[in-house]
Amino acid sequence: MSSVKRKRPLFNRYMANRALPYIVLSIIGVLFLLPLLWLVLASFDANATLLLKLPEQATLENYTATITSADNQRSFVNGLILALGQALLVVVTAGLASYPLSRYQLRYKKMFMYIILFATGLPITAVMVPVYQFFLYFKIQNSLFFTILFLAASALPYSIWMMKNFMDSVPVELEEAAWVDGASIWTTLRLVITPLMLPGIFTVGIYAFSGSWGNFLVPFILLQSPEKLPAAVTIYQYFGQNGIVQYGKLAAFSILYTMPAVVLYIIGQRFMSQGFSFGGANKG
């Protein structure tokens, strides 16, 4: 009696379960790519609309008008001043604050870390009213310097938390070896710890820069003069009255607006991807 072999179905339930996540992720990826594709195409279209279409005649007119505008140039400079100033201040302050938290057994260390953890979840919108009243009382509104200080203070809790984790990864044995050779704490921090902390420094710096570069609410409230507003606020100049929007210039401005953060990420990627390999040295 001959037995008939039953053919296995080409598409069974196991294959369906494996293919379903990829199909869902592909659909989500396409949904994210469509707005980016519209942004690129609209930036080269002098008569851009909300429709996703190829420009009838590609032109650099939108980029030229955006770059040559004195107001846009000033807003980009203001944004760089705010973002770079905040990033530098946050990196230095978080680095100095994370060292004793990582190396010393402080009495109220655990409570302080819980306070930092709580502050990381506090939305900045919850404190803007008292902060604005504080700025008005001391007459420091419309100041780039004090705006940088507030932006740095708002980014410090999470930055200290991140920097401490990177500091914990640096073995104490390397510091002790430097101390035996006669190095002071400041020399050890500058010549031993800082080079090994470059991944953490760039990570915190990019986090602080991105948070300030894309911040609309704080500069909009604390800065009143149009010549002091950053690019995150002046981008709304392309939304005219009566619902008229300059889509082509808006797209060109948006692409140029993303360039500083992308360039900074590319520069820091080489350091951020580095790991710690110290030949068996472990943190004590």
CA dist 119 and 159 (Å) reads: 11
Mean pLDDT (whole number) for 191-213: 89
My answer on whether 209 and 167 are in the same domain is yes
Nearest C-alpha neighbor of 216 from the set 92, 75, 122: 75
Q: Which residue type does 27 have?
A: I
Nearest C-alpha neighbor of 93 from the set 135, 51, 153, 47: 153
CA dist 200 and 205 (Å) reads: 8
My answer on whether 223 and 150 are in the same domain is yes
Residue 177 vs residue 5, higher pLDDT: 177
CATH number of the domain enclosing 198: 1.10.3720.10
Confidence of residue 275 (pLDDT cuts 50, 70, 90): very low
My answer on whether 153 and 169 are in the same domain is yes
Structural domain includes residue 228? yes
My answer on whether 53 and 140 are in the same domain is no
Structural domain includes residue 246? yes
My answer on whether 21 and 84 are in the same domain is no
Structural domain includes residue 1? no
Classify the C-alpha dihedral 156-159-165-170 as positive or negative.
negative
Q: Which of 52-56, 104-108, 151-155 has the lowest mean pLDDT?
A: 104-108
As a whole number, the mean pLDDT across the chain is 85
Q: pLDDT of 88-100, one tens digit each?
A: 999 999 999 998 8
Q: How many domains does the chain have?
A: 2
Among the candidates 23, 43, 59, a domain finishes at 59
My answer on whether 103 and 26 are in the same domain is no
My answer on whether 134 and 197 are in the same domain is yes
Q: pLDDT of 15-54, one tens digit each?
A: 777 888 889 999 999 898 998 999 999 999 988 888 888 8
My answer on whether 74 and 36 are in the same domain is no
- pLDDT over 70 percentage in the chain: 89
> Is 96 within 8 Å of 134 (Cβ atoms)?
no
Structural domain includes residue 220? yes
Q: 117: domain range? A: 63-272
My answer on whether 130 and 242 are in the same domain is yes
pLDDT at 274: 55
Structural domain includes residue 280? no
My answer on whether 196 and 268 are in the same domain is yes
pTM: 0.82
My answer on whether 187 and 90 are in the same domain is yes
Structural domain includes residue 222? yes
My answer on whether 45 and 67 are in the same domain is no
CA dist 139 and 126 (Å) reads: 21
Residue 17 vs residue 11, higher pLDDT: 17
Structural domain includes residue 8? no
Classify the C-alpha dihedral 193-85-230-212 as positive or negative.
positive
pLDDT at 265: 83
